[in-house]
């Protein structure tokens, strides 16, 4: 039989886990979409800053990665990246 101290320690551990996991759960569809938009902005900003400043690529080459009609799938990935938090939030709530 666990002593009172051990019971208290186990409940503290449970509450700590519950609090840390709740940081990763979304509260609303609006919050999920906002996170997706933030991910999109950060990804595109990184791509253009890295491509222009580090790789020294011209704008035309950077923008050509978004041309779906030439077989480039990057734009499709960015759409998924934006919608993924919303989709997983809906699955989580269902």
Q: Which residue has the higher pLDDT, 82 or 89?
A: 82
**Range from 14-18, 75-79, 90-94 carrying the lowest mean pLDDT:** 14-18
Nearest-CA neighbor of 33 among 92, 88, 77? 88
Note the pLDDT of residue 60: 95
**What CA–CA distance (Å, rounded) separates 17 from 90?**
23
How far, CA to CA in Å, does 56 sit from each of 7, 41, 43, 65? 61, 21, 18, 15
Chain segment 5-62, per-residue pLDDT in tens: 555 555 555 555 555 445 467 788 999 999 999 999 999 999 999 999 999 999 999 9
């Amino acid at each position: 039989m666990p002593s009172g101290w051990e019971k208290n320690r186990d409940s503290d551990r449970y509450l700590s886990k519950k609090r840390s996991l709740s940081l990763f759960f979304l509260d609303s569809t609006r919050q999920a979409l906002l996170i997706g938009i933030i991910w999109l902005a950060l990804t595109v900003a990184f791509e253009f800053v890295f491509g222009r400043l580090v790789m020294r690529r011209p704008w035309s080459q950077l923008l050509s990665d978004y041309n779906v009609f030439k077989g480039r799938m990057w734009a499709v990935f960015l759409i998924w990246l934006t919608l993924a938090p919303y989709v997983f939030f809906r699955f989580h709530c269902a």
